[in-house]
Structure 1
Amino acid sequence: MDKYVVIDLETTGHSALKDDKIIEVGMVVIENNKIIDNYSTLLNPNKKIPPFISNLTGIYNKDVMDAPTFQEKAGEIVDMFDNSYLIAHNVPFDLGFINAELANNGFDILTNSVLDTVELARILYPKAPSYKLGQLAEYLGIYHDDPHRALSDAVVTGKLFLKLKEKLASLPYETISHLLNIEKMLKSDLYELLHNRQEELAFSAVENSAIEVYRGLAFKHIKEAETNRNSLEVSYGEYLDRIFEVNGTMHRKMRNYEKRTGQREMSEIIFDSFQIHKHALIEAETGTGKSLAYLIPAIYEAVKTGQRLVISTYTTQLQAQLLEEEIPLIRNLVEFPFEVALLKGKSHYISLEKFERELVSHQHDNYDITLTKAMILVWLTETDTGDIDEIQLPSSGYFYYKKISTDTEGNVDPHSPWFTRSYYQKARKRAQQADIIITNHALLCTDMFNEYQLLPGYDKVIIDEAHHLEETASRHYGLKLDYINMQYTLNQIGTTDEIKSLGRILGKYSSFDQDKLPLEEWNNVLVKVKYEIDDLFRMLSQYVIDQNKKSKSLSDIGRTQYRFENKKENSAKWNTINEMATRLIFYLKDLIHILVIMEQHLEKKEVLEKFDKDDLRGHIQILQTFIDSMEQLFLEEDSLSKVKWIEVETQGAKNAVYLYSEPTDISTLLASDFFEKKQTVILTSATLTMKNSFSFIQNRLGLTSDRLITKKIDSPFSYKDQVQLLIPDDFPDIKYGNMDEFIYATCEAILSLAEITEGRMLVLFTSYDMLRKSYNLLRETLDISTYILIAQGISSGSRTRLKKNFQTFDQAILLGTSSFWEGVDIPGDDLSCLMIVRLPFQPPDHPIYEAKSNYIKENGKNPFMELSLPNAVIRFKQGFGRLIRSTNDRGIVFICDARIIKSRYGNYFTKSIPDVPINTASTNELMKIAKNWF
């Protein structure tokens, strides 16, 4: 069958079952890889079109008033599908609507073979940043002239399908064969396309040198890079002149380059720190160009001395920016070769050996696992790194990926054929040969706490986004235990008669005296362990709910939090919890004992394969970490130096519980394990100071003044001309229990400002609960035909997706909490107004803050001034930094929290941001100021 008909619909809503109707049909016909025909009609839905849909599509009630009904056009539509595939971008939606209308109007429903371009794009373009039609079209260079109109979308979907068909035809025989094996579980009817391609390849003698095949698995052949070692004769001053000064490479090779004095100054401070073996704290305000400022001396130092240097970032977003934008730019500027390598933890890299073994078992595959396998099969033919962060797996695909990451490999034999093909080993080798290693804070800290065995040796390191180092280090010195992970692990091991890990291993060696093994005992104990975990976590959930009726602490992700200390939890209920934990530890020890017997028995018979031995040892290891964690949480003596707390999903299952433990003060550990051992550590960020002082961050990280350089680099932006800070003096005071009134006043201010700035507002909350209440109130009062309201945790999608949606619509208001306070760049006209609802203090009963405060008090200091205020100021500076991202940006910062002007500590906030005009007046007066300013 070589006829494909693409359909796209515009409808009054998302659900045919809720009586939403079709308002426009667009179709294109493809034969012989060309679009040969199209069809389009508006339809009268006999109901009102919602304003949101009209805004999106440009189709209004007046446009469909005289249009035909579906009944009148059904015959024409059905005839077009004769003897063809049905293609749509999200088939269940379009086919669901068409078939509902056909059934309602007395026609037979369509039963064509289907091809879903969303699913096919996920499989064939696994690296695509998004699978929405518009963004896919942009990614693949397909012109889209009229988004959200049916015919234009159908044409684009048709062109997309032809690209997908082309991509399918480029895949090697082995990949096609594996896809054929799992095709039945996919939504698209791919059998014929895959089978035809397999037949073509079976009789083709063309070798593809870009692809390597081992044990039936096809993956991209990666050539080893040759490293060029150069000696640098030029002095550092001359090197900087050649880059920064008139006729330097910056001026010659960068378009619209504006010299920033702070950039060269920062480069010089970093170089000096390297020479005198000192550490440095450098706050580089927005617009300094700090990435280039630290890369320039880092590369010079590494190449000149022949000693590698590490650069660590907190977010993968910044890592990608360094690798994709900054490093290529610097290669152009410095005019000598240097090597850069990215190295992450083992869990980021796929294990080809594990994947090849897992690929053959389909017994328990659900749709997400099948889709994950298909995506990985195609991705392996194009990835150079094997880093899973390159692709977006479906949600439960990450559980499957856990089983096939390098983390699960155990000790790899260097003589194994898989070793030379290991992505992780290749990444390590590249890192060993590189001048610069880019990594993340998580791996840097894991390496630190594992006696520096993971990263290749280094003496100098630059830590960007350094305000996150303390929390990352605390997490790595701490532990986390949760119900989902424990049960998932036990389910993966399984009983002896299931086709899970243990059953599979025993099945392979069934002829080796297994009657001597305690198989029945394993099954009995496993059932008890799972029951005990369920019971314990339900009990913990109820305990937290009961305790929090007295004092309610809600995290910014909507979880209830409770800090516990064994000796202070005196109730009978807590004693029961301790007894349950002790009983669970005994049962877990029993499981480990049985696994050890099994491993020894099969080892004695000299039949146990390395892969199965690794699996058994891996299970023993993870069960032991469960025991260690339980003992630390419930049985160890409490100490001031550790904080332990429980988080419970307020809307989740009764056992959706997470247990944590972290050190209350990481400074002495960092001082002895890190700063004393390294020659130079450069810590930089846009937010390190409070009122121009570095003392807070210096104390929290354990940096001593005798080996420390500090410097604040001012922003080149003209904040006085670019920003107006507005603070109302007539908002209700929350302190007196006026929460609802405060939220009401906030929403009124949002509505008034939205009219002045035409939307384009980012509203930052410190509490998810307040965000949700504001969203509900705004939904009732906002003109939804004019403004698009997007809210974190309510509107679906990741932070990046919400940000893109915000930028897509002209008049949008984005409500964010937690992660939106930093790392979100919305430059230019897309953002004109930033509202900060409350100063970002952590609630005093937040578990970690409460414990750290007690620790500070015990040491005779003031927790508010030493911890609470500095953290809030740094968070505030991060939020403030969202507005101005370039020289041409202009905007308003509106702060609803009058504490910034009324409290004795308010000027710590205003004196910690760039100097901007501050306006304090009634809300009404401030609106006039805002209107005039714009």
Structure 2
Amino acid sequence: MNALNSRLTIDSEQAFDTDGVLARHIKGYSARTVQKQMASAVCSAINGTSNLVVEAGTGVGKTYAYLIPALLSGKQIIVSTGSKNLQEQLFYKDLPALLDMLVLAPKLALLKGRSNYLCQLLLEQQLVACESHEPKVLDDLLRINQWSGQTVDGDLGGLNSVSENSDALRLIASQREKCTGNKCAHYAACFTRKARVRAMDAKIIVVNHHLFFADRILKETGFAELLPDSDVVIFDEAHLLPDIAVTYFGQQISTRSLDNVLQQIIAVYQTELRDSAQIELLAARSINQLNRWHQQLFDTDETDWRLLMGNRDIASASWAMIEELKSLEVLLFAHLGRSETLDECIERLVTLSNKLSVFFQCENNQAAYSIDYGYRYLTLSIAPINVAKECEKLFDAQTSWIFTSATLQINRDLSLFTKGLGIDKSKQIILASPFDYRANALLCVPRHLSKVSNHEAAVKQLIDVSVMAINAAKGRTFILFTSHRMMNAVAARLQSRVNYPLLVQGQGSKQSLMKKFRQLGNAVLLGTGAFWEGVDVRGKRLSCVIIDKLPFVSPSDTLYRARAESVSRDGRDPFTMLSLPQAVISLNQGVGRLIRDEKDKGVLILCDNRIVNREYGQAFLNSLPPMSRTRDMDKVVNFLEQIK
């Protein structure tokens, strides 16, 4: 161990001692060996000994285990999280608390993606065009304008006078496509630019995974990046990285973007180039073809583009749209230089039509081509089925890389995660939770469960089990679902069966539902994927978590299907290699909602007997915390009634 690493390790480990800085400042602090072990490993990684992958079970205290070495190192460090909630918790709560304890004052920066910041130029343009807006949108724009004179950072997350679903927000949020750079009259005051300047000058920069990947990929293509090349990058909630990497190493095309540019071309004709009626005619023809194509796809609701291109009518309509767009391009190039706005539109139109052509051809056998259906528009995605090679280049040797999460291992093995990101040469550590799960948590798979494929029977048995548990727990329950269909079916019937407040996903934002759950103290929350992770309810307000079934990915999922075909070609089993590992990690995330503190007690009920009567069930059980187990609901009721 070199002297630099030795000093950092000693100073960091002392902070976690029974007489260390944390013990002096945190009431009821108790030293945890696993937390000190993680901090020591982080110190080695920061000083470049090797990259680090560490699964830290609930209660290890991983946040302080990486923040304290990061702060004491004096290096420039990016901390990337999987959610804005954790991002803001680190910046506004954890880091300030630690700086006070450690008596340090490095510069910190919180950096979000462009769309989180107000663009003063766009706001000005929208206010000038006020007559074109609906009264509600105009009212919100005026509220935003008032706020813009008071905000320090322009972070729209701090805007409380306008609903987070307001149509006004997308009109004034910063956009790379509409940024005029140093030509802008607001350049000196630009919130996005100032956020980047703060990040460049900061020692600790807190971002989220989406921003990190977007920034690195943009950097590869030569665009101005937001983030500096730091000494160290720490990924918290690292289990999310493989799916996020697929998104950013792939390609997305929004048909909303295409519709917007076509509408803008018509607006240029109407305001600047009235002598060129062909512009409006061909742009309108392209819009009509886009609308017809939209309708054909919405009628099918199929997500796999390769299957759709087998439909002769859809294939014909797709290439007809490309022809219309190319005809429009030829016409617009004849007007190049006549309008600055039109020149920008031409550039965007060419980019979008070329991307569409690539999507329609679907020539890459190592990628999945899929369609995501929105309210009116579509998102077309090309997703690589393996991103390990791309990630290997991204996670370069000049930077120290640290990956941590509470859920990374399958059967006590981290290789699925590390191989998927091309980081299998990293140091790998699994640190178990210090909590006494055997005494404080009970896992129940009720007897006599119907097959999960029988929807009506599954709904009935889930409701019967839930009623027993909810009444015994006096509310204080999460019911987590693998589908909206099941959630809605249970919600509709559960209302008349229990006398506790029901909070159902979709009734409000995730944050507002969680706030209500905590305030009520006896509520029952029903949610799907969004509530399986990133939700922290400590103490007696959450005593029971019920999960409807094992969270296997749908076999019809386009990306899964493409990956499964690739695995099969290599002579391997897609279920063992893909479906099972993903389900294990997802289940662990849901289970992780139950015990958040060493004094917490609770019951996990899984209404899927495949975990006990199928051979693969052992992989789930081996990866879960060591809870006591039962199949007797009477024991569940008794356990819950003892939690006072």
Bin for the TM-score computed over the shorter chain: over 0.9
For residue 258 of structure 1, the aligned residue among 2, 6, 30 is: 30
| Aligned equivalent of 1:70 | none
Structure-2 change in CA distance of 1:395 and 1:341 (3 Å)? closer
For residue 333 of structure 1, the aligned residue among 92, 97, 101 is: 101
| Aligned equivalent of 1:531 | 288
Alignment check: 8 A CA contact 2:80 2:212 kept: yes
Structure-2 change in CA distance of 1:482 and 1:412 (3 Å)? closer
For residue 643 of structure 1, the aligned residue among 357, 368, 380 is: 368
For residue 565 of structure 1, the aligned residue among 281, 306, 309 is: 306
For residue 313 of structure 1, the aligned residue among 81, 103, 120 is: 81
Q: How many residues align?
A: 636
User: Is residue 477 from structure 1 mapped to residue 245 from structure 2 by the alignment?
Assistant: no
Task: Give the superposition deviation at 1:773.
Answer: 1.5
- Secondary structure of the residue aligned to 2:403 is strand
Structure-2 change in CA distance of 1:724 and 1:274 (3 Å)? same
- Secondary structure of the residue aligned to 1:336 is coil
User: Is residue 664 from structure 1 mapped to residue 409 from structure 2 by the alignment?
Assistant: no
Alignment check: 8 A CA contact 1:253 1:332 kept: no
| Aligned equivalent of 1:790 | 503
- Secondary structure of the residue aligned to 2:626 is coil
Cα deviation digits, residues 221-244 of structure 1 (max 9, x gap): xxxxxxxxxxx9992144225522
Cα deviation digits, residues 105-126 of structure 1 (max 9, x gap): xxxxxxxxxxxxxxxxxxxxxx
| Aligned equivalent of 2:459 | 743
Alignment check: 8 A CA contact 1:406 1:424 kept: no
User: Is residue 580 from structure 1 mapped to residue 351 from structure 2 by the alignment?
Assistant: no
RMSD over aligned CA atoms reads: 2.5
- Amino acid paired to 2:605: F
User: Is residue 600 from structure 1 mapped to residue 311 from structure 2 by the alignment?
Assistant: no
User: Is residue 631 from structure 1 mapped to residue 357 from structure 2 by the alignment?
Assistant: yes
User: Is residue 450 from structure 1 mapped to residue 218 from structure 2 by the alignment?
Assistant: yes
Q: Which has the higher contact order (CA 8 A, sep 6+)?
A: 2
Alignment check: 8 A CA contact 2:140 2:166 kept: yes
| Aligned equivalent of 1:715 | 433
| Aligned equivalent of 1:694 | 414
Moved more, 273-282 or 583-592: 583-592
| Aligned equivalent of 2:124 | 356
Task: Give the superposition deviation at 1:443.
Answer: 1.9
| Aligned equivalent of 2:598 | 887
Alignment check: 8 A CA contact 1:540 1:657 kept: no
Alignment check: 8 A CA contact 2:538 2:595 kept: yes
- Secondary structure of the residue aligned to 2:337 is helix
| Aligned equivalent of 1:543 | 300
Alignment check: 8 A CA contact 2:13 2:36 kept: no
Task: Give the superposition deviation at 1:563.
Answer: 1.6
Alignment check: 8 A CA contact 2:77 2:203 kept: yes
Alignment check: 8 A CA contact 1:358 1:404 kept: no
- Secondary structure of the residue aligned to 2:390 is helix
Distance across 2 between alignment mates of 1:809 and 1:388: 28
Q: What's the TM-score once normalised by structure 1's chain length? A: 0.65
Alignment check: 8 A CA contact 2:13 2:39 kept: no
Cα deviation digits, residues 482-528 of structure 1 (max 9, x gap): 4444434433x1634xxxx6645x2xxxxxxx57x5x2011111211
Q: What's the TM-score once normalised by structure 2's chain length? A: 0.92
Task: Give the superposition deviation at 1:627.
Answer: 0.9
| Aligned equivalent of 2:266 | 495
Structure-2 change in CA distance of 1:237 and 1:805 (3 Å)? closer
- Secondary structure of the residue aligned to 2:306 is coil
Alignment check: 8 A CA contact 1:281 1:709 kept: yes
Task: Give the superposition deviation at 1:657.
Answer: 4.1
| Aligned equivalent of 1:407 | 176
| Aligned equivalent of 2:192 | 424
Task: Give the superposition deviation at 1:701.
Answer: 1.1
- Secondary structure of the residue aligned to 2:47 is helix
Moved more, 840-849 or 254-263: 254-263
Task: Give the superposition deviation at 1:592.
Answer: 3.9
For residue 768 of structure 1, the aligned residue among 479, 484, 506 is: 484
Identical residues among aligned pairs (%):
27
Alignment check: 8 A CA contact 2:56 2:430 kept: yes
- Secondary structure of the residue aligned to 1:643 is strand
Alignment check: 8 A CA contact 1:278 1:679 kept: no
- Amino acid paired to 1:338: P
- Secondary structure of the residue aligned to 1:918 is strand
| Aligned equivalent of 1:382 | 150
Distance across 1 between alignment mates of 2:429 and 2:61: 15
Larger CA Rg, structure 1 vs 2: 1
| Aligned equivalent of 1:460 | 232
Moved more, 873-882 or 280-289: 280-289
| Aligned equivalent of 2:69 | 297
For residue 920 of structure 1, the aligned residue among 622, 631, 641 is: 631
Distance across 2 between alignment mates of 1:689 and 1:912: 7
Alignment check: 8 A CA contact 1:319 1:438 kept: yes
- Amino acid paired to 2:610: R
Distance across 2 between alignment mates of 1:541 and 1:679: 46
Structure-2 change in CA distance of 1:678 and 1:687 (3 Å)? farther
Structure-2 change in CA distance of 1:632 and 1:434 (3 Å)? same
Alignment check: 8 A CA contact 2:269 2:279 kept: no
- Secondary structure of the residue aligned to 1:438 is strand
Alignment check: 8 A CA contact 1:368 1:395 kept: no
Cα deviation digits, residues 196-218 of structure 1 (max 9, x gap): xxxxxxxxxxxxxxxxxxxxxxx
Cα deviation digits, residues 533-559 of structure 1 (max 9, x gap): 110011112233xxxxxxxxxxxxxxx
Q: Where do 5+ consecutive residues of structure 2 fail to align?
A: none
Task: Give the superposition deviation at 1:578.
Answer: 2.2
- Amino acid paired to 1:623: L
Task: Give the superposition deviation at 1:713.
Answer: 1.9
Task: Give the superposition deviation at 1:751.
Answer: 0.9
